Chain A
Amino acid sequence: MKLLQPESLPEALAMLAEQPEAIPIAGGTDLLVVWPTRPAEHDRCYVDLSGVPELKGVRWTDGQLALGALATYWDVIRDARATRELPLLGRAARQVGAIQIQARGTWAGNIANASPAADGVPVLMAYDAVVVLDSAHGREAVPLSDFYQGYKRMRRRSDQLVVEIRIPLPRTPYRVQWFEKVGSRRAQAIAKVGLAVVRGEQGWRVVAASMAPTVRRCPAIERRLAGSTPLRSPDDLLPAIEQDVAPIDDIRSTAHYRRRVMARVLYYGLQAT
């Protein structure tokens, strides 16, 4: 095992530039899951971010919330302003495992792990979050909705680090905002379907998890909701769902079930708002 423990951000970025195969590790809640069963993982190179002070914490600046790469779910759950002004963050965070995972898992790690079933990514995407990537060659900001390119593929070069996630505060309060996760049980389960729905000045944002190779926005559904034709039943959403997502049969669910549940969760969620 090759272990690099930088103590500043420039040092971390220099290490990533020199070691393209290095894996950044923050809370480790995804990387350590396979630790006992995959010894080959022990032979890789890790850049431990836990000692990099620039990456810590939750910061409020004018008009936005910035989550450092080491900001955990629990940091946000315990942030009264986040609970008040961006309530979906806390609601999604409370559905990630339980306290033991919330205390260690990070929002940036959830993004960089690129799971299609991520719990933190849908609400970030629905809130128009921006991913800040830094490297020895400079910084760039990428909208989270443009970040994923395919299953576990993303717009992050190996020398780049997700250093911050920026979430803009709405100028007028969101009129609709909810997050729903359907799993086998209420806690400690991976999503069969995840849905974040937000309506604000920019229009509708509908973001689905576990419904496609990546967490993704659903433009056909967003157009359907912006249109004037009322929805009379969950089935009315199926054509738009068909355009937006491509669920699969896997160990947790079936494509058929996922489509039907997404339609119902969406329909009844909209009825309630």
Chain B
Amino acid sequence: MTDNQFRTPHSTFRTTFTLNGTPITLAVDPAERLLDTLRYRLGLTGTKEGCGEGECGACTVYLNGLPVVSCLVPIYQVRGARVETVESLDPATLEPLRRSGATQCGACTPGVVMTARWIDAHRELLHSHTVRELMAGNLCRCTGYDGIIDGIAAGLEGRP
């Protein structure tokens, strides 16, 4: 049993996880969501809050290598885990998405590129899934999705 039981509201406890490749230990409120910790404790505001109820995908990060919506992850479950945010991505890999009209207002874009990069790194999934199915958890109100799908396809084919 860990020492962080019987908390009163607004108490904090220390937790350790790996963030973008670097181990960190910090004091958090157990009521925080991973999204809150990233944005308001660590200042990593690349991850956006859209709906706050797990529908839109704007807050997508990788948790132990899988895309998750950070608005539905309680911070106390992140202990010992690997977290990667949009800040960890190489901007050069986003060029196909920029060229294909995959972004307009930009609210969904951090989440979109996180899922897109994950697909690119796990091409074996395309034997069983379409890009559209894998992107279904990232809602976009501007582009009509074709620009996003085209940009991912261009990246997969190595086109600029």
- A interface vs B, CB < 8 Å? 1-7, 11, 25, 28-29, 32-36, 42-43, 48, 50-51, 74, 94, 97-101, 103-104, 186-188
Within 8 A of A (CB), among B43-85: 52-55, 57, 60, 63, 66-69, 71-74, 76-77, 79
Interface size on B, residues (CB 8 A): 38
A1 touches B72 (CB 8 A): no
B5 touches A3 (CB 8 A): yes
In the bound complex, residues from chain B placing their C-beta under 8 Å from that of A32 are 33, 54, 71-74
Q: Does B30 contact A (CB under 8 A)?
A: yes
- Inter-chain residue pair count (beta carbon < 8 A): 103
Shortest distance from the beta carbon of B140 to any chain A beta carbon, whole Å? 12
B6 touches A2 (CB 8 A): yes
Shortest distance from the beta carbon of A81 to any chain B beta carbon, whole Å? 14
Q: Does B31 contact A (CB under 8 A)?
A: yes
In the bound complex, residues from chain B placing their C-beta under 8 Å from that of A28 are 72-74, 77
A-B contact pairs, 13 of them (CB 8 A): A33-B54, A36-B52, A36-B71, A43-B9, A97-B54, A99-B67, A100-B68, A101-B69, A103-B67, A104-B63, A104-B72, A186-B136, A187-B133
Q: Does B1 contact A (CB under 8 A)?
A: yes
Shortest distance from the beta carbon of B148 to any chain A beta carbon, whole Å? 14
Known contacts being A28-B72, A50-B77, is A94 close to B9, with CB within 8 Å? no
Query: How far is B138's CA from A37's CA once the two chains are assembled, in angstroms?
Result: 22
Shortest distance from the beta carbon of A95 to any chain B beta carbon, whole Å? 10
Q: Beyond the given A1-B7, A1-B30, A101-B137, could you list 14 further A-B residue pairs with CB under 8 A, ordered by the A residue number?
A: A2-B7, A3-B4, A3-B7, A3-B30, A5-B1, A25-B74, A28-B74, A32-B72, A48-B77, A99-B67, A99-B134, A100-B57, A104-B63, A188-B137
B57 touches A98 (CB 8 A): yes
For B114, the closest partner residue in chain A by CB is A100
Q: Does B115 contact A (CB under 8 A)?
A: yes
In the bound complex, residues from chain B placing their C-beta under 8 Å from that of A187 are 133, 136-137
Q: Does B2 contact A (CB under 8 A)?
A: yes
**Closest 7 A/B residue pairs (Cβ):** A98-B137, A187-B136, A98-B136, A103-B66, A32-B72, A100-B137, A100-B69
